[in-house]
Copies of this chain bind each other. A is one copy, B any other.
Amino acid sequence: MGKAMHLTGSFHPSQRVLLGPGPSDVPARVLNAMAAPTLGHLDPEYLALMDDTRRQLQTIFRTANELTLAISGTGSAGMEAVVVNLIEPGDEAIVCVNGVFGTRMKDVMERAGATVHAIEVPWGETIPPERVADALRAFPRARVFGIVHAETSTGAHQPLEEISKLVHASGALFLVDAVTSLGGLPLEVDAWGIDACYSGTQKCLSCPPGLAPVTFSPRALARMDARRSKVQSWYLDMTMIRNYWSADRAYHHTAPINMTYALREACAIILEEGLDTRIARHSLNHRALRAGLESIGLHYIPSQSLTTLNAIHAPDGFDEALIRRRLLTEFGIEIGAGLGPFKGRALRIGLMGSSSTRRNVQLVLAALEIILSRSGATSAAASIYAS
Contact = CB atoms under 8 A, between A and B. Distances in A.
A263 to B, nearest CB: 11
State which size class the interface on A falls in: 35 or more
Contact of A45 (B4, B14, B261): B14
Contacts of A56: 4, 7
Contact of A268 (B8, B210, B232): B8
A16 B1 contact: no
Contact of A37 (B10, B13, B232): B13
19 contacts: A1-B275, A1-B276, A2-B274, A3-B272, A3-B274, A8-B268, A13-B49, A13-B261, A14-B39, A26-B38, A31-B37, A41-B209, A74-B253, A76-B253, A107-B234, A111-B232, A111-B234, A210-B258, A256-B259
- Ranked 5 nearest A-B pairs via Cβ: A210-B256, A35-B35, A76-B253, A208-B258, A1-B275
Given A31-B34, A111-B230, 17 more contacts: A1-B276, A11-B264, A15-B37, A16-B43, A26-B37, A26-B38, A31-B37, A72-B74, A76-B254, A80-B234, A104-B234, A111-B231, A202-B254, A208-B258, A232-B233, A251-B339, A258-B262
Interface of A: 1-5, 7-16, 18, 20, 22-23, 25-26, 31-41, 43, 45-46, 49, 52, 55-56, 59, 72-77, 79-80, 104, 107-108, 110-112, 200, 202, 208-210, 230-235, 251-259, 261-262, 264-265, 267-268, 271-272, 274-276, 328, 334, 339
